[in-house]
Amino acid sequence: MGTRYLFEKAIRISQRLTPPEKQRVKNLCNEIKQSQEALLDAADRAMFNCIEKCRGLCCKSLDIDSIFSLWDFIFILTLDPGRKEDIRKRLKGYSYLYLSPCPFLEGSVGPCIFRDTIKAQICVITFCANDEKIRKPINRVNTNFYKLCWLIQYLRLKRIALKMGRIFSVAGSFGR
Ligand code: SF4
Ligand code: SF4
């Protein structure tokens, strides 16, 4: 599915959450943020290669549709809601050519507009150097994103079940 579509879908999902659901999602997003912080601390050498030596080549030549998931946008919108219109504008003006600079690079060069610990999953867990020593914090980031995916699916199914329950109870009252 296209990145633009996923982004708009993430907005719709976030807007439909009730206040307690929003709080649950926010708590989990804060856990993702903490795990990204821990990974960043542990990966200083690999990060040094990305930032100083290679200067973020990965961000300058990519297929955007293979980077962002629905969960990434829900995570970013939850912790950085003020970024919504900027993201929308950038995705709208982006020509979806294979291997172009990421639309979230300032001026197509960088830095990335997202804060270091509020980034898409693939952006923080991908290193081309040996990542053996940082497997643990990488796994923690991945697990937290899976948890967010499960939570959103669970909340969606709960809403559908409630809706069906209401429909059946109304239909039942007509049948009496
Ligand atoms: S992962 Fe490798 S290729 Fe990508 S920015 Fe970092 S050092 Fe460069
Ligand atoms: S979102 Fe940021 S870190 Fe991720 S690919 Fe784009 S510029 Fe790079």
pLDDT at 50: 84
Quote the pLDDT of residue 152: 97
- Give CA separation, 109 vs 61, 125, 143, in Å: 11, 21, 31
At residue 128, the pLDDT reads 85
- CA triplet 173, 175, 176: central angle to 5 degrees? 70
pLDDT in tens, 45-55: 888 888 888 87
List the structure tokens of 69.
């998931």
Return the percentage of the chain with pLDDT > 70, whole number.
97
Token pair for 94? 């982006």
The rounded Å distance from CA 53 to ligand 1 centre is 9
In which domain, by residue range, is 138 found? 3-175
Split at pLDDT 50, 70, 90, the class of 175 is low
Q: Number of structural domains, the chain?
A: 1
Q: How far, in Å, are 92, 164, 171 from residue 168 at the CA level?
A: 42, 6, 5
The model's pTM: 0.90
Compute the distance between CA of residue 153 and CA of residue 144 in angstroms, rounded to an integer: 14
With a 6 Å cutoff on the Cβ, whether 51 touches ligand 1 is no
- CB of 120 shorter than 6 A to ligand 2: yes
Encoded tokens for 162? 């409630």
d(CA 148, CA 25): 7
Each residue's pLDDT tens digit, 70-113: 999 999 999 999 999 999 999 998 887 767 899 999 988 888 99
Burial of 128 (0-12, 13-18, 19+ CB in 10 A): exposed
What is the predicted pLDDT for the residue at 176?
66
Q: Which amino acid, 139?
A: N
Whose alpha carbon is nearest atom 3 of ligand 2? 123
List the residue whose alpha carbon is closest to atom 5 of ligand 2. 59
Q: Kindly indicate the confidence band of residue 36, based on its pLDDT and cuts at 50, 70 and 90.
A: very high
CB 62 within 8 A of CB 99: yes
Segment 107-121 shows an average pLDDT of 92
Map tokens 């297929």 to a residue: 63
pLDDT (mean) for 112-136: 91
What are 143-161's pLDDT values in tens digits? 999 999 999 999 999 988 9
Q: CA 8 to CA 136: how far, in whole Å?
A: 33
User: Structure tokens of 49?
Assistant: 């290669």
